[in-house]
Structure 1
């Protein structure tokens, strides 16, 4: 699909009205469609998203399907939850390929005379350059003049006054499929605030690069935090759109309220289809390898082991000054860089392992974590309090300290994973 902002504006709106003729009607305060997902009764994948021809398929992300959603925005005041990944591609994506030709969604909608009132930015900011956990200030986007509201720090949930001029909220963020990657926590709070304010939410869906497997311990709600808000495994195998329908259907929002929700699904996509992210989703996930390893290596963020922040191989190496030099011969020295202004062990030699050429994972790897624990100088200093939040349970730390093997630990996850898979099946849009 070619996207020509100026020449095709009128055509897009006309085609949109025709192709979206199955919409029953629009409410003054939002939209209602025949496939309304407020009650999260999602059609099976074969009706929601036709089986792709994987030989010649081109992945078409939700944002690119302007014909499907522009009519929903006509005459509305729009809020957008977006970052640097929220783009419309000038050419569709083939599996395992990247496409540098794109226009930001906000820029495109403004060019199409859509009334964009506010951009809401998650962790790392609207342009995606802030460190993990760094406070992001509200401001004005210098390119468009649109106000930016940060959804990180003390303002994780949009306030009523920040939503008073919004009729429809768009959520378009590239996720990586890990429970502790905070974009799905931002999704929760946006849906909750919009449900309370009777504002419909429109999800422009994107592929999950780690959507080909499900693994990890189920979060226990006693350990709920911004890096884990729901009783799901570490790797959930769902897209943002699917996950939003699960949040709604399982009534995880405050007091069990539900959000008026519509998902623009990805075309020609399955969960088993490899997907190379055209834009890095955050400063410390610079490439496909780091994204694949992230789900396993992020556990180290709850220990005294570095995951390579402050190097050019973030989440592709791990190490610390305290690991046994004879068993961990690879070395690196963290320095300040983009996404790591003050990295752990700055200017100190770390001994560890280089995983840049490791095979891609189809399950969580606990072997690296267990090996690092066994080979650290002072085991009492290895774990910190953040580890339990990342793991979602106290059991994993206790199991590692007790000397259980990876296989023994994973056996204890089986029942929870089977139960989650049954629940997940109710919300799948893609095979």
Structure 2
């Protein structure tokens, strides 16, 4: 009788949810991505959040916390969706609170900006920041929680902090015997593994694991690796489940329908991010304060005879005080550059060589944390070529691929 009642309740929930697509809303303008093309293969992908039949039965009667941002949605089409939290509430799931990562629950905070606790204006749910001084859920914040859902779009780059947030969530839940479910989403940079491998002495929130800069894994695969390799504090193991995608393959081009953070506005920026992200550890602006974030770079001190492209950063969505705010910057426009399928050092080396006062180019500590090693800065300062530098990455990449292979779930 209990089984029949549970089945009936689930059936009624699925009807009331409309397979989680009844609530429809258009993307907010600031969060929208319009890709150049949406392939037929991409249209057939079923993301983890859309597989309601897999996870709804696990949530019935539970107090659920959700780690989410503006990308945590269930799609009806490429431009019509409902937020996961709204869908769960409509389905009768007891969502008790939302944990918000860098950029906040609705995705409007600047990179590095403190995300405050508060209440979600739409649902009234308490919002608990996991960015700033509180990066790991405290025991008291988990006392009324039976299960945690993690559903955030990643871009497959080590210094993109959502995987660090996931690490801390898994660790806190492991320490408090709370199961975690990770909903999988495509990795738009999932087709390759590249870049310097992080060294343990340079761990930070910008990189917590000894992996190459670009790891080539989906968020659920990555979670399984963190858990399986014992990378959580004291080797604790999280009670981890993953809701995998259907019809996804690693080699397909994937255009994100929603920008994953304020300064990644389109496919080009996402694919250039692994390469131009290095500029975050220098005094060079990487397009913040323009409409072409991570599609251009420049600074007032670059040689104007070499760098003829100019622009002036101004405050905008996602950059209230961009680097070199209001200053004319000389640099390069890469918005039409073919998207690289590897980490490109050409632009970083060119900018360094085009700087007159080279002592001011690197912000040493910040650059080391982004690179995960001091070696890259020293190699560039010593005049190494890109090929020479890339050769030093290969051993770390190959060692990582051996570990990575154990956790891959897609072709």
| Structure 2 counterpart of 1:115, from 70, 75, 94 | 94
1:2-401 alignment runs, 5 A limit: 10-11=10-11, 58-91=44-77, 99-384=78-363, 385-401=365-381
Report the Cα distance in structure 2 between the residues aligned to 1:56 and 1:287, rounded to whole angstroms: 16
Name the counterpart of 2:18: none
Name the counterpart of 2:20: none
Alpha-carbon contact 1:87-1:102 (below 8 Å) kept:
yes
Deviation at 1:216, TM superposition (A): 0.4
Deviation at 1:62, TM superposition (A): 0.3
Alpha-carbon contact 1:318-1:354 (below 8 Å) kept:
yes
Deviation at 1:100, TM superposition (A): 1.0
Report the Cα distance in structure 2 between the residues aligned to 1:390 and 1:313, rounded to whole angstroms: 21
Shift of the 271–347 alpha-carbon distance from structure 1 to 2, 3 Å rule, reads: same
Q: Deviations over 1:284-305 (max 9, x none)?
A: 0001100000010000111111
- In structure 2, stretches of 5+ residues that fail to align are 1-7, 16-38
Report the Cα distance in structure 1 between the residues aligned to 2:12 and 2:149, rounded to whole angstroms: 18
| Structure 2 counterpart of 1:407, from 380, 387, 396 | 387
Deviation at 1:9, TM superposition (A): 8.0
Report the Cα distance in structure 1 between the residues aligned to 2:254 and 2:41, rounded to whole angstroms: 14
Report the Cα distance in structure 2 between the residues aligned to 1:11 and 1:136, rounded to whole angstroms: 38
SS in 1 for 2:170: helix
Q: CA RMSD in A?
A: 1.5
Report the Cα distance in structure 2 between the residues aligned to 1:310 and 1:14, rounded to whole angstroms: 44
TM-score for the superposition, normalised by structure 2 = 0.90
Shift of the 9–337 alpha-carbon distance from structure 1 to 2, 3 Å rule, reads: farther
Report the Cα distance in structure 1 between the residues aligned to 2:41 and 2:69, rounded to whole angstroms: 31
Deviation at 1:161, TM superposition (A): 0.4
SS in 2 for 1:295: helix
SS in 2 for 1:217: strand
Deviation at 1:90, TM superposition (A): 1.0
Name the counterpart of 1:416: 396
Shift of the 14–280 alpha-carbon distance from structure 1 to 2, 3 Å rule, reads: closer
Deviation at 1:119, TM superposition (A): 0.3
Higher helix share: 2
- In structure 1, stretches of 5+ residues that fail to align are 1-7, 16-52, 92-98
Deviation at 1:283, TM superposition (A): 0.5
Report the Cα distance in structure 2 between the residues aligned to 1:416 and 1:114, rounded to whole angstroms: 44
Shift of the 254–119 alpha-carbon distance from structure 1 to 2, 3 Å rule, reads: same
Report the Cα distance in structure 1 between the residues aligned to 2:314 and 2:320, rounded to whole angstroms: 8
Deviation at 1:137, TM superposition (A): 0.8
Deviation at 1:14, TM superposition (A): 7.6
Report the Cα distance in structure 2 between the residues aligned to 1:429 and 1:10, rounded to whole angstroms: 28
Q: Count how many residue pairs are aligned between Structure 1 and Structure 2.
A: 380
Report the Cα distance in structure 1 between the residues aligned to 2:274 and 2:101, rounded to whole angstroms: 20
Alpha-carbon contact 1:12-1:66 (below 8 Å) kept:
no
Deviation at 1:142, TM superposition (A): 1.0
Report the Cα distance in structure 2 between the residues aligned to 1:146 and 1:14, rounded to whole angstroms: 23
Deviation at 1:56, TM superposition (A): 8.4
SS in 2 for 1:280: coil
Name the counterpart of 1:427: 407
Task: Give structure 1 regions of 4+ aligned residues with deviation exceeding 2 angstroms.
Answer: 8-15, 53-57
Report the Cα distance in structure 1 between the residues aligned to 2:12 and 2:192, rounded to whole angstroms: 37
SS in 2 for 1:424: helix
Report the Cα distance in structure 1 between the residues aligned to 2:386 and 2:271, rounded to whole angstroms: 19
Q: Deviations over 1:226-251 (max 9, x none)?
A: 00000000000011100000000110
Report the Cα distance in structure 2 between the residues aligned to 1:310 and 1:268, rounded to whole angstroms: 37
Deviation at 1:11, TM superposition (A): 2.8
